[in-house]
Amino acid sequence: MSDQSVQGSIITSRLIASIATRTALETPGVLRIEPTVQGFLARLGPAALQNLRNPRSQNGTYRHNGVTATISDGTAHVHLDIATDIAYTALNVAETVQQRVRESISHTGLTPGTIDITILAIEPHSGTTKR
């Protein structure tokens, strides 16, 4: 065994976005992450250039298909655009997603910051039968 210290992996905003996406999609009542035109245009902005210049930076913003994650000074902020199932109360789904994403972020060693949820659609689940 060596006494040399091993540097840990860096948690990036891209990883936080991935964790937030997976966590949201595993939440009952969430049908999908909803990409928007606004999100697509934002990805073409300055943050995209920053990600190209320094993709391993711990500080920064990552946007992809309805998810934005920003890490700033050890705090992770997330914005999710989601579609929910009409069989669930949208507010309850959003609150549950917020809570679960906060918990998931806390496991990375970062401090969870704001977790914003925008519900862009409320629709019947394709597997739901109509009465």
Retrieve residue 79's tokens. 């914005």
The model's confidence at residue 129, banded by pLDDT at 50, 70 and 90, is very low
Considering only residues 129 and 23, tell me which one the structure prediction assigns the higher pLDDT: 23
Query: What would the pLDDT profile of 45-79 be if each residue is shown by its tens digit?
Result: 555 545 444 444 456 899 989 999 999 999 999 99
**Strands 30-33 vs 67-72: parallel, antiparallel or unpaired:** unpaired
pLDDT tens-digit profile of 78-122? 999 999 999 999 999 999 999 999 999 999 999 999 999 999 999
pLDDT at 30: 98
Residue 44: pLDDT above 90? no
Residues 50, 103 contacting (CB under 8 angstroms): no
Backbone angles phi, psi at 41, to 5 degrees: -65, -35
Model pTM?
0.76
Domains of the chain: 31-122 (3.30.70)
Encode burial over 34-71: b for 16+ CB neighbours within 10 A, e otherwise: bbeeebeeebeeebeebbeeeeeebebbbbbebbbbbb
